[in-house]
Structure formats: C-alpha cells, structure tokens
Amino acid sequence: MSAKLKSAAVLAAVLMDESHEHSGKCEIQNPSPEMIAVDAIALLRIGAGLKRWAERACNGIERYQGNGIWCGMWTERDEAAKDRADARYAAKATEIAARYGATVQIDGDPRGYVLRLILASGRTNGFGAGWGIA
C-alpha cells in the first residue's frame, strides 16, 4: 500500500470515528462512507497544495534572469498569489472540518504539518495540537 493511500485510509477512519463519537458537534449526522472517503482525499489534496506553496515561499521560485543565471526569487506577486491560494485552501478545509465538528489550523512552515485538524476528541497523530495532514 502506498503512503498516500494509507494516509487517506487512516484519515477516513479518524473522520468516521469523529462523526460517531461527537455526532452532536458535527454538521452532518451519520455521513456516508463515500462522503468520508471523498472528504479525506480532499483534505489530503488541500494539505499538499498548502505544503507546495509553503515550500515555494521558503525556497523561492527558480526564474531565469536575463544574464543567463537561474535564481530562486520570491516576489510580492508570488506572495499575493500564495495568500489567495491559502485563503481558498483554508476556506475549503474549514468547510470540510466543520462537518466533523473540527476546526483547521494552518502553519506556513513546510518542515512540519502545514495543515492540522483540531478534532473534538482532542486526538493527535504527533507532537503538537491536532491531527496533522500534510
């Protein structure tokens, strides 16, 4: 089993547990297994997108300068694009998390989890608060 597939399966199981254990805090009562699977995959994709932007912001984007030199640059335009992408990702992740009575925490440091779900159960999968996704 690939690491991505395993991550999706584990996250789906966690979301299923949360929806049953804390159903009073969830927006949707008894979500279907298909809905949970789709939400888990969506959260993993959102996390991957946030991580890519965080890595670019940290390392810069390689660009060709007129003198033939490639350099890692990060411009104000790049920052604005990152902010817009982060806002879209945060809105979608928040919408999905609310279905399970969870909230979202986004961190811009690509060395750790960039996206975390703060679950009603308080469950974690590592150091720090929440369930780290990417």
- Name the band, by pLDDT with cuts 50, 70 and 90, for residue 126: confident
Rounded Cα distance between 80 and 75, Å, is: 9
Distance CA 14, CA 7 (A): 11
Question: Each residue of 53-95: pLDDT tens digit?
Answer: 999 999 888 777 667 666 678 889 999 999 999 999 999 999 9
**% of the chain beyond a pLDDT of 90:** 63
Number of domains in the chain: 1
* Residue range(s) defining the domain that contains residue 13: 3-132
